[in-house]
Structure 1
Amino acid sequence: MANHHQSSNGSAEIHIEIPEIKFTKLFINGEFVHSIKGRTFETLDPRTGEAIARIAEGDKDDIDVAVKAAREAFDHGPWPRMPGSQRARIMHKFADLIEQHAEELAALDCIDAGKLFFRGKAVEIPSAVGMLRYYAGAADKIHGDVLKSTRSLHAYTLKEPIGVVGQIIPWNYPTIMFFMKVAPALAAGCTMVVKPAEQTPLSALFYANLAKQAGIPNGVLNVVTGFGRTTGAAISNHMDIDMVSFTGSTEVGRLIMQAAATSNLKTVSLELGGKSPLIIFDDADVGNAAELALNAVVFNKGEICVAGSRVYVHEGIYDEFVKKLAEKAEAWKLGDPFDPSTCQGPQVDKRQFEKVLSYIDIGMKEGATLLTGGKRWGSKGYYIEPTVFVDVKEDMRIATDEIFGPVMSLMKFRTIEEAIERANSSKYGLAAGIVTKDLNVANRVLRSIRSGIIWINCYFEFDSDFPYGGYKLSGFGRDSGLEGLQKYLQVKTVVTPLHDSPWL
């Protein structure tokens, strides 16, 4: 059916096709199948709170079937054994198919996650395609090293796929995170069982269908939809899964580590929570810095692990910065994510919506001052105004907890030493930002902050070649870049005596 939207000036309508929901079953061993128990759950449109479709609800039994298919494909199938160049050709075909369906896929993430349609079509889908092609280019370049021995031995290493991997995807970036995990695992020659978030299953199932069309063999890529407490837990506990890659909360990351330790000691890679600092020095252009800071916390409605939700501004420009920031926040446009003039869509679901509003209440009760926002926007859907708190103290929950919504804690600082100390005071260490024209200041601060990625005079700048992951309670392991490929590989050392060895 068509979705009609009035343009921002009211002079024309935008006609966008809401896609038919084609895939709602589990994808196991190359086929769409009902869950064993026949259960389903609703996936909801956060613009309205209404149901989009009923999705098959997998559980432990379905994970067992999917893992069996993945194990068979790994132990006896062609994917781990074919030349990397052949895997690359299939991955490029997969990328071609995604490009052909870019608009439909962007619409699925829009209605399922509240993501901006035009950004999805122009940026996120192409970024996922770029990631798939990046790792396709690496598939035939996986090799070990020749080792130097002090004895009469010839030794070298082989890099081999780690095996069957479980991949648990978050709901804030359904497409990007799918390929951040699936693409390097495919390049490495692994087989996999993917669990998308229960809030956003639609695009993952569509990608599974495209993977089959591209020629990825049966059993290599399996998608099992369901809930974290059942389906996700079954992946973490499974004795025949060799590695788990998870992106999500620190609390769930702990549970996955415990499950891995008590099952088969599987390898674990975790990208977890964040409470990232953005430090703005007094030589910054105040207007540009305010724009950067606002985007750092309201981009993707604040549903992003690296959100710059703790903003520290030098006291010399603080008052001017507050004024500029308030002006920009008031001008920020909320609305239907299909409208190209919209800057911010709805939170992903009612639970997240209510969580963010509860933290706004906590901030006011703890004594912070509301500069902008703080309320629901509109009467339908899960929209929240861009919210900025001032008079924030470091021990307030709005400054310590990951809110995962459009809520900023704004604080001032006096010295570089103070800025560094306060930036490092968080239990998290995922990202940080620095705004200054002084390269010496930037170098001093970036070398002192314990974060996995640091942006200087920019924010949210990613690339397929940039490793991404955290320090401290933000987890360990890296996605993207060649480091994102290495975690799906095992290193095997091979040793052979030379002809003059006394053992021959």
Structure 2
Amino acid sequence: MSTHPIFIDGAWVPGADVTLNENPSDLDAPLGEYGMASLAQTDDAIAAAAAAAVTWGRSPAAERATLLEGVAARLLARRDELGEQLAREEGKTRAEGIGEVTRAAQTFSYYANHLFTPQGEVLASRRQDTSIHTRRKPLGVVGIIAPWNFPLAVPSWKIAPALAAGNTVVFKPAEAVPASAASLAEIIADAGAPAGVFSLVTGRGSVVGERFATHPDVAAVSFTGSTRVGRHLLATAHATGSKRVQAEMGGKNPLVVAADADLDLAVRVAIDSCFGATGQRCTASSRLIVDSAVHDDFVRRMTATTAAIRVGHALDPATTMGPVATHAQLETDLAAIALGQREGAELLTGGTLLERSTRGYYLEPTLFASGQSSMRLNQDEIFGPVACIIEADGIEHAIEIANDVPYGLSAGIVTTGLATSERFQEEVRAGLVSVNASPAVSELHAPFGGVGSSSYGPREQGTRALDFYTTTSSHFVSFGA
């Protein structure tokens, strides 16, 4: 079995160690071995990025846009291939994988086009014959740490704005998804990224991620992952001085079904939000808060629809939900299911492992009812296909339950009432709020981020992403005699 290299300073080099890239749909058909960077190799990548930062930061916008458009075009040209690779590596269905590749391409194209829009402000001065304007300037070297659940989409929405702004990037993907990361690195290199502008250092968080947080030449770190790791990264980085850190962390997201909801729509929204991508989205809804007026009817419909989900190999066209991505995540899911039963929640459907023609991490989508907000089942992030229905006595009670967690990433409501919709949007504590649509879905040009324990730092995606990857200078120009 050949070992895939890492990418540092414009060259593919062997890693100091290797990791086996599992296929969660077929444990007997791994994707191969992938190199893992050492501390010294991480330092080499950072040094190369620092050396390239000045030239890249001063490069014309057209040069940066050409690189980003080249990446977008290559992603689209390989969409089917990369979508299948992503499905084999992470467990999404093939359709979900292809959709993610498309989203990644659109993200690179978006930031390429944004480079030719106004990048600063022109302000009036209080003084005679004086103009004021602002400019965005790159930070330098940016360390990017991405999760395993969206191996192309999340790295793209970090890497694209960082490069567009004139920063150089050192990228650490999650250890579970090195193949998608290597393909993205290959595409960025092939699109013409100068040496040092982009490096790929697959490796352990305790080695590579920790070095991003402590290295003096890394100006900023953008992280997506668990709350525990995110908090450690924040503390470590801040202890070193003025390093910028952006962290997207956990969620325990609510979906409210109001008394006036269209229940057919409510079930469709809940199924997508709870079990799309095997429930492995930071924006997924794991708490279904249902008004008592429609509770029993919703429970009946939701249980039947959940039980009908077809779990199977990610590449099987009949599959509607793929396997859990990793063994560690499967153990977390099973522990949460056992906990929910011990806490007294009613298991409506699911909760058991499945056997298929290939060995994999196949778990039934799991739905509980009779939940209480105080249960750990409804307080702790699970990050899998596990959801619990909680009954609410009216919209005020529903919003109270929705806000009864330390997180605040996404929230949604299904309602036909304008007043109910407006009240929910005003009072729910979340950075992403959806009405009559899946709260697990966002759009690349809209700001992305949460409140509370879900997020730290400026928003990602859209033009707001540049607030993190740039610094703003104000310029006062006197043109009088």
Please indicate, yes or no, whether the TM-score normalized by the shorter chain is above 0.5. yes
Q: Structure 1 residue aligned with 2:432, among 440, 453, 457?
A: 453
User: In structure 1, how many angstroms separate the alpha carbons of the residues matched to 2:241 and 2:85?
Assistant: 37
User: In structure 2, how many angstroms separate the alpha carbons of the residues matched to 1:165 and 1:458?
Assistant: 34
Q: Structure 2 residue aligned with 1:149, among 81, 106, 125?
A: 125
Instruction: After TM superposition, list the pairs within 5 Å mapping 1:106-117 onto structure 2.
Output: 106-117=83-94
Counterpart check, 1:43 vs 2:21: yes
Q: Structure 1 residue aligned with 2:353, among 365, 368, 376?
A: 376
User: In structure 1, how many angstroms separate the alpha carbons of the residues matched to 2:229 and 2:376?
Assistant: 20
| Contact 1:142–1:159, Cα closer than 8 Å, also in 2 | no
SS in 2 for 1:394: coil
Shift in Å at residue 471 of structure 1? 0.3
Instruction: Specify the alignment match of 1:234 in structure 2.
Output: 211
Instruction: Specify the alignment match of 1:479 in structure 2.
Output: 460
Q: Structure 1 residue aligned with 2:469, among 457, 477, 488?
A: 488
Instruction: Specify the alignment match of 2:114 in structure 1.
Output: 138
User: In structure 2, how many angstroms separate the alpha carbons of the residues matched to 1:373 and 1:322?
Assistant: 14
Instruction: After TM superposition, list the pairs within 5 Å mapping 1:6-21 onto structure 2.
Output: none
User: In structure 1, how many angstroms separate the alpha carbons of the residues matched to 2:143 and 2:272?
Assistant: 33
User: In structure 2, how many angstroms separate the alpha carbons of the residues matched to 1:119 and 1:408?
Assistant: 21
Shift in Å at residue 100 of structure 1? 1.5
SS in 2 for 1:45: coil
User: In structure 2, how many angstroms separate the alpha carbons of the residues matched to 1:277 and 1:495?
Assistant: 48
| Contact 2:292–2:394, Cα closer than 8 Å, also in 1 | no
Change (3 A) 1:22 1:441: farther
Shift in Å at residue 162 of structure 1? 1.7
User: In structure 2, how many angstroms separate the alpha carbons of the residues matched to 1:305 and 1:88?
Assistant: 30
Aligned AA (2:355):
G
Aligned AA (1:386):
P
Shift in Å at residue 142 of structure 1? 4.9
Shift in Å at residue 210 of structure 1? 1.2
With normalisation by structure 1, the TM-score equals 0.91
Instruction: Specify the alignment match of 1:70 in structure 2.
Output: 49
Aligned AA (1:105):
L
SS in 2 for 1:284: coil
Give the alignment's Cα RMSD to 1 decimal. Answer: 1.6
Shift in Å at residue 110 of structure 1? 1.3
Instruction: Specify the alignment match of 1:438 in structure 2.
Output: 417
Q: Structure 1 residue aligned with 2:398, among 403, 413, 419?
A: 419
The percent of aligned pairs where both chains have the same amino acid is: 36
Instruction: Specify the alignment match of 2:325 in structure 1.
Output: 348
Instruction: Specify the alignment match of 1:390 in structure 2.
Output: 369
| Contact 1:271–1:478, Cα closer than 8 Å, also in 2 | no
Where structure 1 has 5 or more consecutive residues not aligned to the other structure, the ranges are 1-20
| Contact 2:2–2:32, Cα closer than 8 Å, also in 1 | no
User: In structure 2, how many angstroms separate the alpha carbons of the residues matched to 1:480 and 1:498?
Assistant: 38
Shift in Å at residue 277 of structure 1? 0.5
Aligned AA (1:311):
L
Counterpart check, 1:201 vs 2:181: no
Shift in Å at residue 102 of structure 1? 1.3
SS in 2 for 1:202: helix
User: In structure 1, how many angstroms separate the alpha carbons of the residues matched to 2:211 and 2:126?
Assistant: 47
Aligned AA (1:217):
P
Instruction: After TM superposition, list the pairs within 5 Å mapping 1:158-169 onto structure 2.
Output: 158-169=135-146
Cα distance per residue 1:190-219 (max 9 Å; x no partner):
110000000001111111111111112111
Change (3 A) 1:63 1:391: same
Counterpart check, 1:304 vs 2:290: no
Counterpart check, 1:469 vs 2:449: yes
With normalisation by structure 2, the TM-score equals 0.96
Instruction: Specify the alignment match of 1:92 in structure 2.
Output: 69
| Contact 1:345–1:383, Cα closer than 8 Å, also in 2 | yes
Shift in Å at residue 497 of structure 1? 4.4
Instruction: Specify the alignment match of 1:15 in structure 2.
Output: none
Cα distance per residue 1:258-299 (max 9 Å; x no partner):
111111321111111000000001211222212221221111
Change (3 A) 1:52 1:461: closer
User: In structure 2, how many angstroms separate the alpha carbons of the residues matched to 1:397 and 1:100?
Assistant: 45
SS in 2 for 1:174: coil
Counterpart check, 1:223 vs 2:200: yes
SS in 2 for 1:385: coil
Shift in Å at residue 22 of structure 1? 8.5
Cα distance per residue 1:427-452 (max 9 Å; x no partner):
00000011001111101111101101
Where structure 2 has 5 or more consecutive residues not aligned to the other structure, the ranges are none
